[in-house]
Each structure stands twice: as structure tokens, then as C-alpha cells.
Chains A and B, each alone.
Chain A
Amino acid sequence: MVWIRGIDEIPMSFSNLNEITVSAVGQATQSLISLKPGDGIGLRGPMGRGFVLKGDNILLIGGGVGVAPLAFLGEQAQSIGIGVTSLIGFRSSRDIILYHRFEALGPVIITSDDGSTGICGRVAKGLKELDLDDFSQIYLCGPELMMCDIISRTERYADRIQASINRYLKCAIGICGSCCLDPEGIKVCVEGPVLTASRLLQSEFGKYRRRSSGSRGPCRD
């Protein structure tokens, strides 16, 4: 959990050792990117369960700023001899981040919503280029609807897909309940944020998500 003093405390994944990658989407992230050298933040963590490396050949599928923790994961995998293929998607060529890091890991398929780079369309369009049977494990991170799109097209592989998901976190230690997934009540902050697709398929994921008040709202990111 990253504390921007005077603003808020928000969950963040590492994109490298001692590094986070931030996209300004709200007040807290806007404040984070406005910090100057020498400014400080508060840290609480690490929290929850992250990706678990399995097998000898893996696929990373990321969308937007969600590619950041996958680059870090891919580097860890590569360092212990695991083969890494990446499928990453962005809105347009202007939004591409960390491309060189994925390129250094192995084959990369890139998509863009506007067709300005790579395959034109959503990330899931890139699946056609791949045979998922080749991979022992598939790692997902990105906007909820993008991950849901991928999972719904690859249900057969659901038990070997690990997805890092986002929910509204308050306590981040498994007691307040603000991040719990219906209907099972999975505590995303301690049992996640990485969950297998087979568990997500049984949940609210992709259907709705709770707002800070606890009411149900759309799951657009």
C-alpha cells in the first residue's frame, strides 16, 4: 500500500525491485506522479499473494499499465530459465510502456485499439497468434474487462491462468471486507490480488465491483 501523505493510500504492484509504475487515473495517482525528487511516500506491505511461477514456458498477457508487474515477473522467470512469451496491448502506439523489457524476454505480440501499432483491436485478438497448449502457466494483468474477455475465451485453461485483479482496498489486511468478491467472499487483499481464473469464473469478476461505499457498480476500469 502506497501512502501519498494528505491524499490517500492505494494498492500498488512492483514493476521492478524498488520500483512502481503509475498511470495517472485518479487523485492519488495524479499526486504520485506530481511528486518531485526528494519527496517521500509511505509504504505498508507487502500484502496478499502474488504470482507464483510454475512450469518451464509461460505466457504473459497484459493491458495498459497492467503490463508493469508482468515485466518484473517475466524477468524473474527468465533468470531461472523459464521461457517467456508476451502478449501486450495498449490503446495506441503513444501509450506503449516497457516494450524493451518484454522484447528482452522473448517473443512479443503487441496489439493496439486504434491499430497504430501491431494487431489492430483488443488484446484478445492476439490470442489467434498463439497455441495456448504451449504454455504451462498464463499470467494476466490489466483492465478488468480485458482480463474477463481473455478468461472467457480461454476457459479450458482456467486452472492455469493466474490473474492479478483490482478491487477497492481499505484495510488491506483481510478484516474490513471492502474488497471481498461475491458470492464466496474471497478477500482480495489477502487471498489475492492474484487469483486463478477458475476461481474468478465463479465470482462477480467481470460482472460488477463494489464502490468505496460497498454498493455494487460497473466493473469498468
Chain B
Amino acid sequence: MQSLEGIVGGLKIRNPVMLAAGILGSSGGSLRRAAQAGAGCVVTKSVGARPRDGHPGPTVVQLNCGLLNAMGLPNPGYKEFQEEIDIARIGGVPVVASIFGADKEEFREIASFITPDAFELNLSCPHAKCYGAELGIYPDLVETITESVKNEVNVPVWVKLTPNTSDIIGLGIAAQSGGADAVVAINTLKAMAIDIETGTPILANTFGGLSGPAIKPVALKCVYDLSLNLDIPVIGVGGISTWEDAVEMIMAGAQGVQIGTALYKGYEVFQDIINGLLCYLEKKSITLEQLKGWAWRQCETHSYQNPRVTRRDTTNKNA
């Protein structure tokens, strides 16, 4: 029997299939339920410094190719959130707190107060003013924010990256330089939908983030590039809804995968993916470690193009 147990991003987990941030993660009860349904670890809804109601509705648009959302980071504030983390822990798997702030001080304030098993820094939410990707598209901010949280806590720190950039590798390198234990890629892609009856953008926030099957190929490419160019692990997220998707993501170089939008099918999706992954490893007679990055090795075998980058020294660009 193959084992899915391992260490991902500094956390010892029973399997690499995790609950993604922002999905069924605002209460300890629903996080615990994800753990009991099989998730290897659970990531909470992002918590910030103060309570926020989020955007008014509609906050989601259901599309054939995926899901569009602009929740607006609703959360009760970190001071009320430890209780939810404690309840989630009853599920028996590591609880990762996703946190967001407007600057490094706010990130540090939150990280110093709550005590999860790891942190995931939300530097990638595409639709909340002054937060998420508004900071996360700047490598220097990614690095300093990561560094300030790392200096504050004694648990692993993951950084969730935005694909809404021309250079996600640069963001990954910045997180790594800041001391991140892993990067998580990707958050949603900026997108919108319009009501053709009246011309009104459907999301109350005008635009939001696209998730689900439509973004899986984008996520795969980001994970492939990041994992080839970073020394720290990459956790893949974006459109994974079946075990085949998970296999593909791990082949691209992911050490773990997160499941988000696919949870609309129910918590059973965890067990389906885990079982499928186990059967696949069995059938191929390989370990999870051997599966990781299989696509890089095939590229080398076939002499395909390899996107490993040689980074220019940016300080000399005006020389």
C-alpha cells in the first residue's frame, strides 16, 4: 500500500490534499468537517485585523467553466478567530491560518496573536482594496511582509501568490528570499461577468476572481515554473476537482494540492481524490515523491523547452 504521508511546507501531514483558503473556512465547525472528510490539512478563511462584512451580493457568479467570486474578505477579525482555530483542531489535522493585512505591521500584529500550525499569507486576493494582490504584485513587499511574519512566529509560513502578474517566478523568489517555507499558487484570476439584460456587471464589486476548471491549465503552468525555479516547495491550487487533476498538478512539481471550488460537489471530493491518487501510485508502482515533478524530467528526456530562468541582476538594469 502506498503512503500519502509526508512533510509539506514544513508541516507533517497524512496526505497532501488540503482545503484551500476561503472555502468553508470561516467557522471551526466547517473546518473540522473538512478534516474529518479526509483533508490532510485545512486552511482557514483569511482573517484580518478588524471585522469586515465583505462586499454586498451578488458575491458569486456560476459559470460553465468555473466560478467567479468577490466575497470581499469578510471575517470577524483575528481577536475572535482563535476559538475557531481551536475547534478546527479537533479534526486532528494541522490548521493553517490564512491572514491578510494592509502592510507588514498589520500582518505581524495578526501573526503574533493567533497560534495556528502554520500561516498562509494572503498576498493574492484580487478584489479587496489595499489588501491581497494590491500588495502581492510587488516583489519587494512580498519579501518584506514574509520576512516580518517569519521573524514573528515559530511555525511554517506559506505565501499564496497571485497569477495576475507578468512574473510569478519573481514573486516566488521574493517570498523565498523573505524566508517562506512554501509558496501556494495560484489565487484566482481577475475576471468579470455582465448581465446582458441591463448591462450591469453582476458582481457587486464589478469584478472578482475566476476559479474552477477554467484556471487549471494556468495554475499548472505557474506551478511548473515556480517549482523549477524555487528551492522551497510549491503547493498547487486552481481548478483541481478530480484525482487526475491532482496527479497532473503534482507532476508539474507541486508537493501538495489544495481544493477549493470543487467543494461545491460536497466534502466527498477529498476522499475521491485521495483514493484516486493512491490507486494511481499503486498502478504505476511509484511513490508520491517520484510523481512530483515528473513533467520536468520528461521535458529533459525529450529535450523540450525548459523554463528555468536566469535572473538578471535588477540593480544593474539602468547601468
What residues of chain A have their CB less than 8 Å away from a CB belonging to chain B? 1, 3, 5-10, 40, 42, 44, 170-178, 180-185, 187, 210-216
Q: Are A180 and B27 in contact (CB under 8 A)?
A: yes
Known: A170-B59, A185-B24. A213 touches B263 (CB 8 A): no
Pick from B54, B87, B266: contact of A212, CB below 8 A: B54
B263 touches A174 (CB 8 A): yes
The verdict on A181 contacting B29 (CB below 8 Å), with A175-B260, A176-B59, A212-B53 known, is: yes
Interface residues of B in 30-53 (CB under 8 A from A): 30-33, 45, 51-53
In the bound complex, residues from chain B placing their C-beta under 8 Å from that of A214 are: 26-27, 45, 74-76
Whether a CB of chain A sits under 8 angstroms from the CB of B303 is no
B6 at the interface (CB under 8 A from A): no
**B14 shortest CB reach to chain A, Å:** 20
Q: Flag if B59 contacts A174 (CB, 8 Å).
A: no
B64 CB–A CB distance under 8 Å: no
Instruction: Identify the 10 closest CB pairs spanning chains A and B, nearest first.
Output: A9-B57, A215-B76, A185-B30, A185-B29, A185-B33, A177-B24, A212-B53, A214-B26, A213-B51, A9-B58
The interface residues of chain A, by DSSP majority, are classed as: loop
Q: How far is the CB of B30 from chain A (nearest CB, A)?
A: 4
A-B contact pairs, 20 of them (CB 8 A): A3-B58, A5-B195, A5-B198, A40-B198, A42-B58, A173-B60, A174-B264, A177-B24, A178-B74, A181-B29, A182-B29, A185-B27, A185-B32, A187-B30, A210-B26, A211-B53, A212-B53, A212-B74, A213-B53, A213-B76
On whether the beta carbons of B263 and A175 are closer than 8 Å, the reply is: yes
Q: Would B29 and A180 count as touching, CB distance under 8 A? A: yes
Chain B interface, DSSP helix/strand/loop, else mixed: loop
CB distance A176 to B202 under 8 Å?
no
Q: Do B58 and A174 touch across chains, with their CB atoms under 8 A apart?
A: no
CB–CB A177/B30 < 8 A: yes
B257, CB-defined interface residue at 8 Å:
no
Residues in B with CB closer than 8 Å to A184 are 29, 33
Q: A8-B57, A185-B27 are in contact. Are A170 and B195 (CB under 8 A)?
A: no
Q: Please, how many angstroms separate the alpha-carbon atoms of A151 and B29 in the complex? A: 23
**B74 neighbours in A (Cβ, 8 Å):** 170, 178, 212-214
Residues of B within 8 A of A182 (CB): 27-29, 87
A173 to B263: give the CA distance in the assembly, Å. 9
CA A214 – CA B30 in complex, angstroms? 12
How long is the Cα–Cα vector from A163 to B51 in the complex, in angstroms?
31
User: If A175-B23, A175-B24, A177-B26 touch, does A6 touch B58 (CB 8 Å cutoff)?
Assistant: no
Q: How far is the CB of B239 from chain A (nearest CB, A)?
A: 14
Q: Which residues of A contact B87 (CB under 8 A)?
A: 182-183
A213 contact from B25, B54, B198, Cβ within 8 A: B54
Cβ distance B23 to chain A, nearest Cβ, rounded Å: 5
Whether A176 contacts B23 in the complex (CB less than 8 A), given A42-B58, A170-B59, A185-B32, comes out as yes
Contact indicator B264/A175 (Cβ below 8 Å): yes
In Å, the complex CA distance between A1 and B56 comes to: 13
Q: Mark B180-199, 1 if CB is under 8 A from A, else 0.
A: 00000000000000010110
Which interface residue of A184, A211, A213, A216 has the most chain B CB atoms within 10 A?
A213
In the complex, chain B residues whose CB is within 8 Å of the CB of A212 = 53-54, 74
CB contacts (< 8 Å) of A175 on chain B: these are: 23-24, 67, 260-261, 263-264
* B197 touching A40, Cβ below 8 Å: yes
Q: How far is the CA of A213 from the CA of B53 in the complex (A)?
A: 4
Given A5-B200, A180-B24: A173 touches B30 (CB 8 Å cut-off):
no
Check B29–A171 contact: CB distance below 8 A.
Answer: no
